[in-house]
Amino acid sequence: LDGGILKYFEECGGDHYTGDCFVFDQRVALNSQLQETALEQCFACRAALTNDDQKSPHYVPGQSCPYC
């Protein structure tokens, strides 16, 4: 992919893509419309956390998550 997956989304859209694209900045993940998703990243283990993960009693923002 010349220019990477984000460039592909810009040019072709997400018709042939399912899921989120992990990015290495504060956004954590983008969808195929290049919009930030609701994913967060665990401070301790760096796992990507869904909304359900963030509701877990094992999730302590800035400390730990269900995957630690």
Instruction: Flag whether the pTM goes above 0.75.
Output: no
Q: What is the pLDDT of residue 11?
A: 87
Residue 29 lies inside a defined structural domain of this protein: yes
Number of domains in the chain: 1
Instruction: Please give the pLDDT value at position 18.
Output: 85
Report the C-alpha gap between 44 and 37 in whole angstroms.
20
Q: Is residue 21 part of a domain?
A: yes
Three-state DSSP state, 53: helix
For every one of its 68 residues, what pLDDT tens digit does the chain have, with 9 covering 90 and above?
Answer: 678 888 888 888 888 888 889 998 989 999 999 999 999 999 999 999 999 999 999 999 999 999 99
Q: Domain of 15?
A: 4-55
- What pLDDT score does 5 carry? 84
In a domain, 66, yes or no: no
